[in-house]
Amino acid sequence: MTHHLLAVDDLGTDGIEEVLRLTESFVEVSERAIPKVPTLRGRTVVSLFYEESTRTRLSFEAAAKRLSADTMNFNVASSAVAKGESLRDTVETIEAMGVDAVIVRHASAGVPVQVARWVEASVVNAGDGWHEHPTQALLDCYTLRERLGSLAGRRIAIVGDVKHSRVARSDVAAFSSLGADVVLVAPPTLLPPSLVGWPVEVSHDLDQVLAKVDAVVLLRMQQERQTEALVPSLREYTAGYGLTRRRAELLGEEAVIMHPGPMNRGVEIAADVADLACSVVTRQVANGVAVRMAVLFLLLASGTRP
Amino acid sequence: MAERERRTTPPYGGAFVARSRVMDADDVRRAITRIAHEVVERNAGLEGVVVIGLQTGGVPLAEALVEELTRIEGVPVPLGTLDVAMYRDDIGLRPVMPEAVTAIPSEVSGHTVVLVDDVLFTGRTIRAALNAVCDYGRPRAVQLAVMVDRGHRELPLRPDFVGKNLPTRRDEAVDVHLDGVHLGDLRPGPS
């Protein structure tokens, strides 16, 4: 296990397997009457979120607290960043307070990598621009395994705004690393300009794909990241690529529906489809805490401290 | 020896090399039978008794003990397994990794918990296990059964039921299986 978790590829297939195996232990902890273990007593975890987030920030915070770590929250709006402090100065200030792990989210790709060069603490990427969101991919893998067993030979569709999606990039890396076949379904304008080296198939026909997949991952239409008009209208997008009630019925009986959240109900997923029995959206959130406990455990507790 | 010890004691991941056999399969079986009778005697039956094996070495012994208890008294005995990795006091000092998911079968509060492990050495695993068990509830009592007590305690703990007292040097290793107990050494190995 590396000192940081910056991208899914840092883990490799063995590392992913190890996180998923450990997650089972932390799911058990999370299901106890008192979901807390003393493992990270005396360690400090700080979240450095330069971009808004509900579930990821709370999920990391819950994970750290269930491991008995102390947590600090950094809120950009009420911080010295508003006075013009640079990223490097902010990070070095936080490190000087003595932290063991920094959870970083930033709108620019590569920020966690840069932060990892500056600090001794472990850095966890909680989403950087369009690049990666590795813990989301890990919790997606865990949730899929819970429902499907092994991912080897399974077929998984990732539908929607792939171009702007760090979740899609991390999911593709993790799913294919575990032996699943990934098919991206999106209008050409919402795909990255080049898919060279991506272990994926591409389709523009959702109806045709749905009948043959074991899982479908819906991506959020990221209106805040779309500065150019990439789809004529949200209604037209929904008509072509939204998971409507009619389309959900094309799915096989065992197939599961996933969404990393936050959902735009009525856009990429119909309001009632999100609540179907085959939708594992809330399970993803619950597993997210256990996966992040496993990641924090691996980074901070599994080895010997220098 | 317990897989846990093998991987977490220098040389990490070393191979166990046996020097002498101290118990054979029959000895282990007889020790479990005796311990089972002692558990029944101590608790005047098995009312409210829960057996919990410590991962990984204590689990097969706990299974064998529960089988014996059931045979002797004719009542089912709840069996659980516990991984103490998250409660260890040497996290950061040596590699620590949970080996298996903890499964505590029934309500612990008000019950008598019999912890089962293969080797009692420093007592630190048992300290961690006591904290872990108490996170699930408030047992009426906790008792400790081990196949081998090898001495070198670092905490004020003692076992209630012992298969064999085995004097050892600190740097030796003890390997416990249902088919026998061996005394030997850890040598640097590949795995």
In chain B, residues with a C-beta closer than 8 Å to the C-beta of A303 are 95
In the predicted model, is pLDDT for residue B191 greater than 50?
no
In the predicted model, is pLDDT for residue A258 greater than 70?
yes
User: Which domains are seen in chain B, by residue range?
Assistant: 3-187 (3.40.50.2020)
In the predicted model, is pLDDT for residue B83 greater than 80?
yes
Domain membership of residue A117 (yes or no) is yes
Proportion of chain B above pLDDT 70, given as a percent:
92
- pLDDT band at residue A180 using 50, 70 and 90 as cut-offs: very high
User: Is the same domain home to A155 and A271?
Assistant: yes
Confidence at residue A306, expressed as pLDDT on a 0 to 100 scale: 59
A209 within 8 A of A183, measured Cβ to Cβ: yes
Confidence at residue B9, expressed as pLDDT on a 0 to 100 scale: 66
Lowest mean pLDDT among A47-61, A213-227, B6-20, B172-186: B6-20
Domain membership of residue A306 (yes or no) is no
Confidence at residue A190, expressed as pLDDT on a 0 to 100 scale: 94
- pLDDT band at residue A1 using 50, 70 and 90 as cut-offs: low
User: Is the same domain home to A259 and A290?
Assistant: no
Pairing of strands A181-185, A200-203: parallel
User: Is the same domain home to A127 and A147?
Assistant: no
In the predicted model, is pLDDT for residue A133 greater than 50?
yes
Pairing of strands B15-24, B180-187: antiparallel
Q: How far is it, in rounded angstroms, from Cα B43 to Cα A190?
A: 69
pLDDT tens-digit map of B24-57 = 999 999 999 999 999 999 999 999 999 999 999 9
Q: How far is it, in rounded angstroms, from Cα A5 to Cα A139?
A: 14
User: Is the same domain home to A39 and A154?
Assistant: no
Confidence at residue A117, expressed as pLDDT on a 0 to 100 scale: 96
Lowest mean pLDDT among A20-24, A113-117, A229-233, A292-296: A229-233
User: Is the same domain home to A19 and A89?
Assistant: yes
- pLDDT band at residue A15 using 50, 70 and 90 as cut-offs: very high
Out of A24, A32, A305, name the one closest to residue B135 (CB). Answer: A32
Q: What share of chain A is helix, strand, coil (3-state, %, to 5)?
A: 45, 15, 40
Domain membership of residue A101 (yes or no) is yes
Out of B83, B92, B103, name the one closest to residue A301 (CB). Answer: B92
Q: How far is it, in rounded angstroms, from Cα B130 to Cα B115?
A: 9
pLDDT tens-digit map of B121-132 = 999 999 999 999
- Full 3-state SS string of A47-63: EEECCCCCHHHHHHHHH
pLDDT tens-digit map of A185-224 = 999 999 999 999 999 999 999 999 999 999 999 999 877 6
Domain membership of residue A221 (yes or no) is yes
Q: Kindly give, in sequence order, each residue whose CB lies less than 8 Å from that of residue B53, ignoring residues fewer than 6 positions away.
A: B59, B60, B61, B62, B63, B79, B80, B81, B82, B116, B117
Out of A25, A32, A302, name the one closest to residue B83 (CB). Answer: A25
DSSP secondary structure letter of residue A77:
G
What mean pLDDT do residues A125-143 have?
97
Q: What is the CATH number of the domain that holds A217?
A: 3.40.50.1370
- pLDDT band at residue A83 using 50, 70 and 90 as cut-offs: confident
How close does chain A come to B83, measured CA to CA in Å?
9
Domain membership of residue A305 (yes or no) is no
Q: What is the ipTM of this complex?
A: 0.89
Nearest partner of A288 among A145, A147, A140, A67, judged by Cα: A140
Contact B86 A304 (CB under 8 A): no
Domain membership of residue A272 (yes or no) is yes
Residue A158 burial (CB < 10 Å; 0-12/13-18/19+)? buried
Two tokens, residue A184: 């991206």
User: Is the same domain home to A143 and A280?
Assistant: yes
Give helix then strand counts, H and E, for chain A.
Answer: 10, 9
Confidence at residue A54, expressed as pLDDT on a 0 to 100 scale: 83
Q: How far is it, in rounded angstroms, from Cα A2 to Cα B82?
A: 28
> DSSP string covering A259-278, please?
--S---BTTTB-TTGGGSTT
User: Is the same domain home to A172 and A60?
Assistant: no
What mean pLDDT do residues A122-151 have?
97
Peptide bond into B8 cis (omega under 30): no
Whole-Å CA distances, A37 to A19, A162, A259: 18, 38, 30
pLDDT tens-digit map of A23-37 = 999 999 999 999 999
User: Is the same domain home to A272 and A140?
Assistant: yes
Contact B83 A304 (CB under 8 A): no
Proportion of chain B above pLDDT 90, given as a percent:
82
In chain B, residues with a C-beta closer than 8 Å to the C-beta of A297 are 86
How close does chain A come to B27, measured CA to CA in Å?
34
Contact B97 A302 (CB under 8 A): yes
Confidence at residue A53, expressed as pLDDT on a 0 to 100 scale: 87
In chain B, residues with a C-beta closer than 8 Å to the C-beta of A302 are 95-97
Nearest partner of A45 among A89, A90, A97, A84, judged by Cα: A97
Confidence at residue A294, expressed as pLDDT on a 0 to 100 scale: 97
In chain A, residues with a C-beta closer than 8 Å to the C-beta of B100 are 25
Q: How far is it, in rounded angstroms, from Cα B21 to Cα B164?
A: 13
The phi, psi pair for B2, rounded to 5°, reads: -60, 135
User: Is the same domain home to A68 and A89?
Assistant: yes
Out of A22, A33, A304, name the one closest to residue B98 (CB). Answer: A22
User: Is the same domain home to A116 and A221?
Assistant: no
The number of distinct structural domains making up chain A is 2
How close does chain B come to A37, measured CA to CA in Å?
6
In the predicted model, is pLDDT for residue A109 greater than 60?
yes
Domain membership of residue A268 (yes or no) is yes
Pairing of strands B79-82, B112-120: unpaired
Q: Is the dihedral of CA A236, A242, A245, A249 positive or negative?
A: positive
A305: closest chain B residue by CA: B92
How close does chain A come to B103, measured CA to CA in Å?
8
How close does chain B come to A38, measured CA to CA in Å?
6
A79 within 8 A of A90, measured Cβ to Cβ: yes
User: Is the same domain home to A223 and A175?
Assistant: yes
**Mean of per-residue pLDDT scores for chain A:** 93
User: Is the same domain home to A235 and A295?
Assistant: no
R_g of chain B computed on alpha carbons: 16
Contact B101 A305 (CB under 8 A): no
Domain membership of residue A2 (yes or no) is no
Q: How far is it, in rounded angstroms, from Cα A77 to Cα A85?
A: 12
Contact B101 A24 (CB under 8 A): yes
> Which residues span the domain enclosing A31?
8-132+285-300
